[in-house]
Structure formats: structure tokens, C-alpha cells
Amino acid sequence: MSDKIPEGNRSARERLAQQREREKGREKRRRTLIVASAVVGVLGLAAVVGLIAANAGKGDGGDSASGPAVAPSGAIGEAALTLPVGAADAPSTLTIWEDFRCPVCAQFETAFRDTITELAEDGQIRVEYHLATIIDGNLGGTGSLRAANAAACAQDVGKFAPYHDVLFSNQPPEPDDAFAENSRLIELAGKVEGLDTPGFRSCVEDGDHDSWVKKSDTAFREGGFQGTPTVLLNGESVFPSKGEEQISAENLKKWVAEANKGKKPGTATPAEGSTAPSAPAEGSTAPSAPADGSGVPPAPAEGAATPVAPSSAAGS
């Protein structure tokens, strides 16, 4: 007998083998499709979960400032974002938005602190401070946030005004994020009598008011302001000028006098610690130069402080 497979049988076997290969291929593709579908389903579920988590975190400030905003004691106004200094019934209000890392804010404080103190002590104005953190956003770091939280902690014990002045009088150069160190903020608290206590230290180190500070910064960014400092007298911008008049100590007094004409000075006793800003601590450092690009208006009358333009706007 021949050991060769007849041609007809060979063809039948080959067709059977080919059919089996095709069936194997279909089964492989079916299993691949099942696995792929399962993977897509898992990824889709993960995406949904991630979206839910992201949306749940919106509006809470993120990172260490998550959770409810805890306003410092004595804060007033909408959402309790205002720190008042001076008589509550003063006829005029000076609103100031500042960032503790902003060099132009430090220059403003150095130039006008005495004038603002005099007007507040005489019951002519109440100062309403608001805190922003735009330098953190522009240059990176957390010094604006950390310093603002520490200032809010000082407000809790009626020491905002003097500690505010100490921070600006000891402000590091703008690129130096020294205020990011809680130890430095606590060290500076030693310049304010009665402030460096275990309660204050805990408030600073735990970031008790971080969410409140971020809420205040959001209000600044959504308020349409151009930069810090922003200074408003009864809602009208007066820094670096009011109309065509440049700000100076004498002009600020004149503008307040004009606004208060025929009105009695405030006499209401402010809350403890909400006094006019104090003089800078002895031996404090001078403020740093204005941020690059800051314009400098023409020099005011002799003896008056030279105004400077606000620091960089938020997000610039």
C-alpha cells in the first residue's frame, strides 16, 4: 500500500484544520473584547470617582486650608472678612487690602502709618483691613498665607494692629519666602507685648485661619482690584491718587476732612486690640523696593511721602 494520503482526503483534512484555526481566532478575539470592555469599564468608573472627588474638593481651598473658614474673633462685614481698627462710629472708612509679602504695601505702611494712626485715634476714620496672598501666587511659596494666618491669630487676642505693623516693619525681600516659616512668625510675635502665648503658637502652627485667609484672597481676586495695596476712602480709590491729586499725608488728611465735613468724630470704644496701628518696633528693617514695573507718581509737596503704585495684580 502506498503511504501517501489520497488527494481528496488531504483536502478535507486541510479544510477541517483551517476551520478549527478560524474558530480559535474568533474565540481569541471574543475573549480580548471581553477583557478590553472590562478594562474600559474600570477606567470609566475611576474617572467618575475622580470627578466626584474633584468636585467635592472645589471651594474648600484645597491642601491644608480645606474645611470650613474659621474667622478670627472680632472680624466683621460680609463673610466676616474684615478686620476693623478704630472707632466703629467714625464718619469715614478707610479700606485697605494688603499682602504681607508685598513690598509696596510695606512702603505704604511706612509712609502713612502715622497719619492713619492720628486719623483713627481722633475718631475721623475706622480702618478696615483685608488680607490677600497674591505674592504667593505670583512668585510661589506660602509666606503670604502663613503671615496672614498669624495676623488672624493675633486678632483672636486683640493684637492684630501691633502685630500687623511688626510684620510689615520686618518684611523680608519679596523673593525671600521667610514668612513661610512659622518659627519666624512666632519670633516676631515676641515684639508685641502679651502675644507670644501657647494659644497663639498653636493657632499659627495649626493654620487655624488658613481657610479664612484663602476665602479673603478669593474675595480680593473676584473684586476687580488691580493689585496691593488697594486703598479706598469711603469706597473711592485714593492710592496712588484720588482723581488727579497724588496721595500724600496732607492730601489724605484733606480728603478725610472733606468727607467728614459737618459730621461728628467717632467716639465708640473699639474692641480690645482694635486700636489704631502702632508705630514700628525699634530697630525694625526698612521696607524693600517696589516690585519691578511699579510706577512712581510725581513727588508730592515738600515733607509729604512719595506714593508708589500698587504691587503686581493678582495672577499677573
* Predicted confidence (pLDDT) per residue in 189-246, tens digit: 999 999 999 999 999 999 999 999 999 999 999 999 989 999 999 999 999 999 999 9
**Is residue 283 within 8 Å of 217, Cβ to Cβ?**
no
In this model, does residue 315 exceed pLDDT 80? no
CA gap 104, 228 in Å, rounded: 7
Number of domains observed in the structure of the chain: 1
Q: In what order do the strands lie in the sheet with 236-237?
A: 83-85, 125-131, 92-98, 230-233, 236-237
Please report the pLDDT score of residue 298 as a whole number: 37
* Residue 308 placed within a domain: no
CA gap 47, 230 in Å, rounded: 42
* Residue 99 placed within a domain: yes
More confident residue, 301 or 163: 163
What mean pLDDT value characterizes the chain?
78
Please report the pLDDT score of residue 9 as a whole number: 53
* Residue 278 placed within a domain: no
Mean pLDDT, range 33-60, rounded to an integer: 34
* Residue 290 placed within a domain: no
Please report the pLDDT score of residue 26 as a whole number: 64
In this model, does residue 46 exceed pLDDT 70? no
Please report the pLDDT score of residue 27 as a whole number: 59
More confident residue, 69 or 2: 69
In this model, does residue 293 exceed pLDDT 60? no
103-121 vs 160-169: helix crossing angle, rounded to 10? 140
**Is residue 163 within 8 Å of 151, Cβ to Cβ?**
yes
Please report the pLDDT score of residue 61 as a whole number: 33
Domain, as residue range, for 107: 68-259
Q: What is the pLDDT of residues 256-275, one digit of tens each?
A: 999 999 999 999 865 444 44
* Residue 14 placed within a domain: no
* Residue 284 placed within a domain: no
State whether the Cα torsion 14-17-22-28 is positive or negative.
negative
Burial code (b: 16+ CB inside 10 Å, e: under 16) for 225-254 equals bebbbbbbbeeebbbbbbeeebbbbebbee
Q: Can you name the residues that pair with 231 across neighbouring β-strands?
A: 96
Q: What is the pLDDT of residues 126-167, one digit of tens each?
A: 999 999 999 999 999 999 999 999 999 999 999 999 999 999
**Distance from chain centroid for Cα 266:** 32
**Distance from chain centroid for Cα 141:** 11
Task: List the grid coordinates of 123.
Answer: 475718631
CA gap 51, 43 in Å, rounded: 12
Please report the pLDDT score of residue 268 as a whole number: 80
In this model, does residue 282 exceed pLDDT 80? no
Mean pLDDT, range 3-7, rounded to an integer: 47
Quote the pTM value. 0.69
Question: What percent of the chain has pLDDT above 70?
Answer: 64
Look up the CATH number of the domain holding residue 178.
3.40.30.10
* Residue 292 placed within a domain: no
* Residue 48 placed within a domain: no
Q: What is the pLDDT of residues 89-115, one digit of tens each?
A: 999 999 999 999 999 999 999 999 999
**Distance from chain centroid for Cα 75:** 17
CA gap 247, 240 in Å, rounded: 6
Mean pLDDT, range 65-72, rounded to an integer: 82
478575539: which residue's cell? Answer: 29
User: DSSP label at 93?
Assistant: E
CA gap 203, 206 in Å, rounded: 5
495649626: which residue's cell? Answer: 206
Least confident of 18-22, 64-68, 245-249, 263-267: 64-68
Q: In sequence order, what are the residues at sequence separation of 6 or more whose Cβ sits closer than 8 angstroms to the Cβ of residue 226?
A: 310, 313
Q: Kindly indicate the confidence band of residue 82, based on its pLDDT and cuts at 50, 70 and 90.
A: very high
Q: Kindly indicate the confidence band of residue 68, based on its pLDDT and cuts at 50, 70 and 90.
A: confident
